[in-house]
Copies of this chain bind each other. A is one copy, B any other.
């Protein structure tokens, strides 16, 4: 339903009602052609915390939904309005506010791109380790909202682990600060961590203090090719279990390699392989050798360290896999991308399961991901046929359900958004989801912020407050 957003014209904030703006804010990277899109009624572009606060307070008073938006790289509809209202575009708040190299800290506004953080601190020999693969295209605000992580998470942790302090605006317009510029604190509730991964449903982040790290003196990269996917997955598990100190350990199956070659004109072997990167200040060669010795026990066919240029090619192939899957066969399109994560001991098993389903139903299921974290991205490719599509959806769901069954999560780094709502209950149980709902109602009683996301009852089109029984 449309909301009357004319009040925005009276506020001190840039507002647009233009078709093109409304249309572009109705989709994110996860939106597919078959999806029904909901346009916002207005797009606002605040340039300060005050402006964010003004808009939120006014919208909250009027019962108008506000959905934060930035680069739109989310994959589960996290930043797309479910109920029209206001799309709050934060790309204009893109300043690096302060760099404190002595403290390994940077303060940024939410619209700053991931790689812009690295650019801002490179002169001090520092970097921001947990950047997602899309770091050149996505914003720090979006990463915080979705609890993002990336290829280096196996060594350095998630984006949220590197957030020291947040300034954020609640639905009623009040401005909170949480966390500390001290590297540790036990002072009060950890609202900062509550906001990380809350997908804009609790607050709009307006500034973040991030921790940084000194760049490693030794970096080595390469790839390892295995006879079978199972060998590759078992090798990754064994490397992690053995404590190999690796900064990136990505796995792709033979099908994904084929797709990458088709898409990029590259000449990867059409075989299961892992891409690796090692970071150290001392002894990197020993660590590479340690990894190789573990991989040899799993029949590795080639273990090749590469020059930087070659590595760039490899990583390009890895980064483009999501696009490669879409471009591979016009007759078969991927369902939305899987993002399950399991305890590392379950990683070989969940990949075997995906491949069993691939064979059983005759639908391509390319598998790749941040293997060292136990994170598996997969797609199910289906033709334009509703019945086969339904089978594909079931394959997709079977893999998610298996992941949860073995102690994992339905989403390692993409968030719940609209695409994963059906799994929240299955993963966390009634009491835990109800506790989340109570927190949501406490901080956003009118369900102003990004309604229609995360909670399973919104699958039936409700807003959280409409389902409140108190």
Q: Which residues of B contact A442 (CB under 8 A)?
A: 438-439, 441-442
* CB–CB A411/B194 < 8 A: no
- Please tell me the number of chain A residues within 8 Å of chain B, measured between CB atoms: 90
Considering the complex, give the chain B residue whose CB is closest to the CB of A287.
B282
- Complex: A435 Cα to B158 Cα, angstroms: 25
* CB–CB B147/A186 < 8 A: yes
Considering the complex, give the chain B residue whose CB is closest to the CB of A412.
B184
A103/B188 contact (C-beta < 8 A), A177-B432, A194-B194, A429-B177 known: no
Within 8 A of B (CB), among A316-348: 339, 341-345
A186/B428 contact (C-beta < 8 A), A174-B434, A345-B100, A435-B443 known: no
> Is A380 in the interface zone, CB < 8 Å from B?
no
> Is A1 in the interface zone, CB < 8 Å from B?
no
> Is A178 in the interface zone, CB < 8 Å from B?
yes
CB < 8 Å: which of B103, B190, B432 contacts A344? B103
- Complex: A216 Cα to B393 Cα, angstroms: 45
CB < 8 Å: which of B188, B438, B440 contacts A428? B188
CB < 8 Å: which of B182, B190, B374, B432 contacts A178? B432
> What is the distance, in angstroms, from A79's C-beta to the closest C-beta of chain B?
14
> What is the distance, in angstroms, from A454's C-beta to the closest C-beta of chain B?
6
* CB–CB B443/A180 < 8 A: no
Q: Which residues of B contact A281 (CB under 8 A)?
A: 245, 283, 286-287
* CB–CB B186/A413 < 8 A: yes
* CB–CB B184/A189 < 8 A: no
Q: Which residues of B contact A184 (CB under 8 A)?
A: 149, 153, 157-158, 341, 373, 375, 409, 412-413
A374/B409 contact (C-beta < 8 A), A170-B431, A439-B443 known: no
A181/B343 contact (C-beta < 8 A), A146-B186, A194-B190, A428-B188 known: yes
Q: What 0/1 pattern do residues 423 to 461 of A give for CB contact below 8 A with B?
A: 110011101111110111111000000000010000000
* CB–CB A343/B103 < 8 A: yes
- Complex: A435 Cα to B428 Cα, angstroms: 24
Considering the complex, give the chain B residue whose CB is closest to the CB of A214.
B243
CB < 8 Å: which of B186, B196, B287, B412 contacts A148? B186
- Complex: A137 Cα to B341 Cα, angstroms: 35
Within 8 A of B (CB), among A193-223: 193-194, 196-198, 202, 213-214
> Is A410 in the interface zone, CB < 8 Å from B?
yes
Considering the complex, give the chain B residue whose CB is closest to the CB of A180.
B409
* CB–CB B176/A432 < 8 A: yes
List 6 other contacts, CB 8 Å, given A157-B161, A174-B435, A176-B432: A103-B343, A147-B186, A153-B184, A184-B373, A189-B202, A191-B436
3 tightest Cβ-Cβ pairs between the two chains A and B: A282-B283, A193-B193, A442-B442
Chain A residues with CB under 8 Å of chain B are 100-105, 146-149, 153, 157-158, 160-161, 170, 174-178, 180-191, 193-194, 196-198, 202, 213-214, 237, 241, 243, 245, 280-283, 286-287, 339, 341-345, 373-375, 403, 407-416, 420, 423-424, 427-429, 431-436, 438-443, 454
